[in-house]
Amino acid sequence: MLRADAPVVVLLHHGLDNLRGKTGLTLLRYRRAPVLAVIDPAQAGSSLQAVTGIAREVPVLASLEQALPLIADPAATVAVVGLAPSGGRLPEAMHADLEAALRAGLSVASGLHTRLGEDPRLAALVQRGRWIWDLRREPPDLPVASGRAASLSGRRLLAVGSDMSVGKMSACLELQAAAEALGLDARFVGTGQAGILIAGSGVPLDAVRVDYAAGAVEQAVLASAAGAGKETLVLVEGQGSFCHPGSTATLPLLRGSQPTDLLLVHRAGQQAIRNLPQVPLPPLPQLIATLEAMAALARPQEAMARSAPPRVRAIALNTGHLSAAAAAAAIAETAAATGLPCDDPVRHGGEALLRELWRPVSS
């Protein structure tokens, strides 16, 4: 429902400088359409770049009311909830700004588990032709996956992580930007709230019943690849990790996307699950072998005849916590340990990794 070119106001109450605001921060970094304002009472008047490091000129305001003079066309503008709080519940402090947005004629998009459209106070304020999009809903009429994505002629790259929140979506978006800069056809499939809000479409995987999760991914990949040719690269945003004891997302992504290639995303130096330090990560070569073994299963016969099993083609290394010198050393060490191309696409841009990944399916 959110057009890729729609101007937005990002609601980031007390989330501009911390991980609670990761959805909004990702929008600010990667959404190409105009971002008219950020609403965060705790940071009002601050420089966005000074607080976040994101080189974008967007005013940080205390309330939605203060943003109204900046909105030329309320009917085309969307107020986006940019928080990803624990439990996915709407903070009560944000309610007044949502009401102000709807009263002013804006639409609202939210990836929270709290369904704003079911709140009678908010629903009563939606004006004619406007909407509330609660994107974290299971799509209707989902199929059970059957490997249909394997019949696509182009390539499908799935980002897989050693942990949650290591930068799988960012790596895909950097690769897409690099591809487009070179005039290549790369398409992004969002599978979480930030990715869907950036792309305007996708599948909210954590809202789908497990029996239909792979089918939902399959449906989203087929939709993204409509009209694609042999040289098209479909970039599928990863979720979760095989290494995390609470994560189930990677398997339906593998089954639904039927990837031709895998991109492993890892945080430099991390040796255990970030929020579960008692759960160690395996050495990267062991993890790579496991991922490739899992990806080789459940492939249709036609795919097996046409191409080799999916392989991890490269490592996207998250070095955001390191100095430039330490990052360079970590990239070199990871490449040596795995025998694979390695780079940080957020720090250096995605072109170097893209050149390693943009290759025929049969390779």
What would the pLDDT profile of 129-177 be if each residue is shown by its tens digit?
999 999 999 999 999 999 999 999 999 999 999 999 999 999 999 999 9
Residue 359's pLDDT is what? 63
Residue 338's pLDDT is what? 98
In the chain, which segments carry CATH 3.40.50.300? Answer: 148-357
Residue 200's pLDDT is what? 85
Residue 363's pLDDT is what? 41
**pLDDT tens column, 97-116:** 999 999 999 999 999 988 99
Residue 342 structure tokens: 């390695």
Report the CATH number of the 148-357 domain: 3.40.50.300
Residue 19's pLDDT is what? 82
* CB 338 within 8 Å of CB 285: yes
Q: Which helix (H) or strand (E) holds 189?
A: strand 186-189
**Cα 204 to Cα 39, 130, 171, 226, distances in angstroms:** 25, 22, 19, 20
> What is the chain's mean pLDDT, rounded?
94
- State the distance between the two ends of the chain, measured CA to CA, in whole angstroms: 38
**Cα 277 to Cα 15, 244, 249, 318, distances in angstroms:** 25, 11, 21, 19
The candidate with the shortest Cα–Cα distance to 130, out of 101, 159, 150, 151, is 101
Q: Which helix (H) or strand (E) holds 159?
A: strand 155-161
The radius of gyration of the chain from alpha carbons, rounded to an integer in Å, stands at 20
Q: For the CA atoms of 282, 176, 257, 248, what is the dihedral angle to 10 degrees?
A: 40
In the chain, which segments carry CATH 3.40.50.720? Answer: 8-134
Q: Which helix (H) or strand (E) holds 110?
A: strand 107-110
Q: Which fold has domain 8-134?
A: Rossmann fold (3.40.50)
Encode the chain (363 residues) as per-residue pLDDT tens digits. Answer: 788 889 999 999 999 998 889 899 999 999 989 999 999 999 999 999 999 999 999 999 999 999 999 999 999 999 999 998 767 788 888 999 999 999 999 999 999 988 999 999 999 999 999 999 999 999 999 999 999 999 999 999 999 999 999 999 999 999 999 999 999 999 999 999 999 999 888 999 999 999 999 999 999 999 999 999 889 999 999 999 999 999 999 999 999 999 999 999 999 999 999 999 999 999 999 999 999 999 999 999 988 988 899 999 999 999 999 999 999 999 999 999 999 999 999 999 999 999 998 865 444
In whole angstroms, what is the distance from residue 261 CA to residue 350 CA?
A: 16
In whole angstroms, what is the distance from residue 296 CA to residue 310 CA?
A: 6
